[in-house]
């Protein structure tokens, strides 16, 4: 019942729900106490409103936003409490006393100060906001001053409103003791502190403490672009939950020849972007983007089909390529919008055939097979299990935008899969890594996910006390303790290098100081590899695990596993690179043959029904190589889905970029010659470089 109430109230926990209920009860109690009047009931109920309000705000509760929508926002709640204090004074028989008039005046003055305070804070935030957010780009051409101290701006509305607590305490003490001096002191202190807060903000409105104008900043960015002359660009727009779609391409961009550039469209994406040495330019405004000088860019890469792509697709001097954020048999992999791009790059032959079968307008000559450069970290199967106990990864995708049963195995088969793995006759270790979107649309999917987490955690707790593993646990106790200490050391150093939560720096300061540092990037890469190694050593190879969040990465989970269970998503295509056994759930009940016909990636998989009773075939293949009847099929399917092992995918990716850049340059040169007229068009252009290399762009 409590969990149902939590879901209906859309709060994150039972404590949030309890705080919300207390807040809802306490305010009527404050009003009742003021009318009766009853001093101690008023004081107790008012204290509850302060505490619960503060708790909900610090938790970022959804209910706080809902209260604002129904005209019961933060400032209104404080004003109501202050007005009820005035009512309490009047009902206490002091309606004609000076303390009453002093309370009324102080409350009005205090509330009136919220307007200039709010205006100054809003103005500061607006004038401290750059039209762009950058990383690894030198903005030294413009002066960006330090931000105001965080204690002035962070949660400023809450801070200034809570200054009324002195007035509240002072007046209540005056009513209790009959000494009005307490009331005058409390009221005066609240007003004085509120005035002081406003005055403390004023120096930061001076022009010297604000960032330059948008025109100045954009001019500096154009100057940097003219000097850097980027040749290939990764363009991305999306919500913070979709950050994984671009983060999977960061290592590829780091390895790309030429001078790559990453262009983002949402400020939140700049915060979610992983570490990279590639210059990053976030341009939220469409007009600003269109006015930037990107004339040296010859190839633009797109990881997602989103509406804001049109702002870049309109540029004719570059060629546009859809690279996607995965390669699967889902409909998203053959989106008709793909024909808006000059080329579509797929991993292997399967992607080409997929578009041909879908017949959505993408021409075969516009499809280029480049492999999947991101799969390089995936280790191939060794022929034996990694540990004495086989490890099986369950990595379902999310529920999708509709309720099709084929979207995810989670809803109909997830619990059956996990229960059968946990109770397998030959013990295995289970790793559960759900898609980051799981449960974001469907409450039912979220509930199933939570039950699976509970199953895995319960099984892990039982295995921890199982005598079969006690000896192993004792032997590895020292190694695990060492690994945990190593994790703590690495995480501390990663925190120093990443500086992701430095509250003393605002967006402008981050852009100013986030300059390219190859040594720092190399250390980050090394530390992340060390973190991954230490993570797996920090617990036993027999321990079940729920893996949430970005770390460890999915491919690290692939390397730690001996087999995988999943559903129709790019996860399956990626796992095939390992050559290890895998199973895919036919959640829609198509039947094995039809399921394989419709979904290329499952042709070498053990096909599971929603009961998951076929899992024994997968476990047999893991523990006994002679029982692995699909090994040869997986090898052939890997080549079909992902292309040949040689040349490497990054080599093919670079070659495709060079070829397309040459086409873009040829087009631009032809346009220039046609515009120049017949005489100049006939004359050779000695200034144009002969090389088609991405390092030698020509402005178009």
Residue 63 pLDDT grade (very low, low, confident, very high; cuts 50, 70, 90):
confident
Lowest mean pLDDT among 28-37, 307-316, 439-448: 439-448
What mean pLDDT is predicted for residues 126-149? Answer: 90
What's the confidence (pLDDT) of residue 494?
85
On the question of pLDDT at 319 being above 90, the answer is: yes
Q: Report the alpha-carbon distance of residue 437 to residue 569 in Å, rounded.
A: 13
Q: Is the pLDDT of residue 366 over 70?
A: yes
Per-residue pLDDT at 636 exceeds 70: yes
Distance CA 412, CA 405 (A): 8
Domain boundaries in the chain?
A: 2-129+152-199, 229-376+648-700, 377-469+540-646, 477-537
Residue 686 reports pLDDT greater than 60 = no
Closest listed residue to residue 612, CA positions, set 414, 456, 479, 436:
414
Most confident of 135-144, 503-512, 671-680: 135-144
Q: What is the mean pLDDT of residues 644-656?
A: 93
SS (H, E, C) 31-70: HHHHHCCCHHHHHHHHHHHHHHHHHHHHCCCHHHHHHHHC
Report percent pLDDT > 90 for the chain: 58
Q: Which fold has domain 377-469+540-646?
A: Rossmann fold (3.40.50)
Alpha-carbon gap, residue 244 to 246, rounded angstroms: 5
**What topology is assigned to 229-376+648-700 in CATH?**
Rossmann fold (3.40.50)
CB distance 328 to 350 below 8 Å: no
Q: What is the pTM of this model?
A: 0.78
pLDDT at 141: 86
Q: How confident is the model at residue 465 (pLDDT cuts 50, 70, 90)?
A: confident
Domains 229-376+648-700 and 377-469+540-646 fall in the same CATH topology: yes
Q: What is the pLDDT of residue 473?
A: 78
Reported as a single tens digit per residue, the pLDDT across 514-553 is 877 788 878 888 898 899 999 999 988 999 999 987 789 8
Mean pLDDT score of the chain, rounded to an integer? 88
Residue 476: predicted pLDDT:
82
pLDDT at 438 over 90: no
Reading across the β-sheet that carries 299-302, which strands appear in turn?
133-135, 280-282, 260-264, 232-236, 299-302, 319-322, 343-346, 367-369
**More confident: 152 or 516:** 152
How many Å apart are CA 160 and CA 193, to the nearest integer?
8
Q: What is d(CA 355, CA 343) in angstroms, rounded to the nearest whole number?
A: 12
pLDDT class of 694 with cuts at 50, 70, 90:
low
């Amino acid at each position: 019942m409590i969990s149902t109430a939590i879901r209906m109230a859309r709060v994150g926990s039972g404590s949030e729900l309890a705080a919300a209920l207390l807040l809802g009860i306490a305010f009527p109690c404050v009003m009742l106490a003021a009318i009766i009047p009853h001093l101690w009931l008023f004081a107790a109920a008012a204290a509850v409103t302060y505490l619960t309000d503060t708790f909900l705000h610090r938790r970022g509760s959804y209910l706080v936003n809902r209260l604002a929508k129904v005209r019961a926002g933060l400032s209104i709640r404080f004003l109501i409490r202050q007005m009820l204090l005035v009512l309490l004074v009047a009902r206490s028989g002091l309606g004609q006393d000076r303390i009453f008039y002093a309370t009324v005046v102080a409350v009005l003055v205090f509330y009136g100060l919220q307007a200039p305070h709010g205006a100054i804070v809003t103005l500061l935030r607006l004038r401290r906001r750059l039209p762009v957010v950058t990383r690894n780009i030198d903005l030294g051409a413009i002066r960006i001053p330090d931000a105001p101290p965080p204690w002035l701006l962070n949660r400023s509305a809450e801070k200034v409103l809570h200054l009324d607590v002195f007035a509240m305490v002072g007046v209540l003490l005056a009513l209790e003791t009959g000494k009005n001096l307490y009331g005058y002191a409390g009221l005066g202190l609240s007003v004085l502190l509120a005035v002081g807060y406003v005055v403390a903000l004023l120096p930061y409105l001076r022009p010297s403490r604000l960032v330059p104008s948008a025109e100045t900043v954009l001019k500096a960015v154009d100057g940097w672009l003219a000097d850097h002359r980027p040749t290939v660009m990764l363009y991305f727009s999306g919500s913070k939950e979709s950050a994984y779609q671009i983060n999977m391409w960061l290592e590829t961009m780091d390895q790309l020849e030429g001078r790559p550039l990453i262009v983002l469209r949402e400020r939140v994406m700049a915060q979610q972007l992983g570490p990279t040495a590639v210059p990053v330019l976030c341009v939220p405004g469409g007009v600003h983007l269109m006015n930037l000088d990107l004339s040296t860019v010859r190839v633009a890469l797109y990881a997602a089909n989103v509406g804001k792509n049109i702002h870049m697709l309109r540029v004719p001097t570059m060629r546009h390529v859809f690279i996607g954020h995965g390669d699967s048999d889902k409909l998203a992999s053959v989106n008709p919008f793909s024909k808006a791009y000059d080329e579509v790059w797929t991993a292997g032959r399967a992607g080409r055939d997929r578009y041909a079968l879908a017949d959505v307008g993408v021409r075969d000559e516009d499809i280029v097979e480049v492999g999947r450069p991101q799969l390089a970290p995936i280790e191939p199967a060794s022929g034996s299990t990694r540990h004495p106990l086989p490890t099986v990864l369950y990595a379902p995708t999310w529920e999708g935008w509709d309720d099709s049963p084929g979207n995810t195995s989670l809803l109909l088969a997830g619990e059956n899969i996990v229960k059968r793995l946990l109770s397998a006759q030959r013990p295995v270790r289970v790793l559960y890594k759900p898609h980051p979107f799981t449960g974001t649309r469907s409450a039912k999917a979220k509930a199933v996910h939570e039950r699976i987490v509970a199953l895995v955690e319960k099984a892990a707790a039982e295995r921890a006390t199982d005598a079969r593993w006690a000896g192993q646990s004792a032997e590895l106790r020292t190694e695990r303790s060492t690994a945990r200490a190593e994790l703590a050391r690495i995480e501390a150093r990663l925190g120093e290098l990443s500086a992701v939560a430095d509250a003393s720096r605002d967006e402008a300061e981050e852009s100013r100081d986030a300059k390219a540092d190859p040594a720092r990037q190399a250390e980050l890469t090394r530390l992340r590899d060390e973190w991954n190694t230490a993570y797996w050593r920090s617990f036993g190879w027999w321990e079940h695990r729920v893996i949430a969040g970005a770390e460890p990465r999915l491919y690290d989970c692939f390397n730690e596993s001996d087999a995988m269970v999943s559903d129709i998503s790019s996860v399956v295509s990626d796992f095939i690179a390992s050559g290890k056994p895998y199973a895919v759930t036919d959640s829609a009940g198509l039947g094995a043959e039809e399921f394989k016909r419709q979904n290329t990636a499952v042709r070498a998989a053990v096909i599971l029904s929603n009961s998951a009773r076929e899992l024994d075939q997968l476990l047999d293949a893991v523990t006994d190589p002679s029982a692995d009847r699909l090994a040869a099929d997986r090898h052939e399917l890997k080549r079909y889905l992902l292309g040949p092992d040689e040349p490497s995918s990054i080599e093919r990716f670079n070659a495709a970029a060079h070829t397309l850049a040459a086409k873009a340059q040829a087009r631009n040169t032809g346009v220039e010659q046609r515009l120049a007229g017949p005489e100049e068009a006939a004359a050779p252009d000695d200034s144009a470089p002969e090389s088609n290399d991405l390092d030698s762009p020509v402005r178009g």
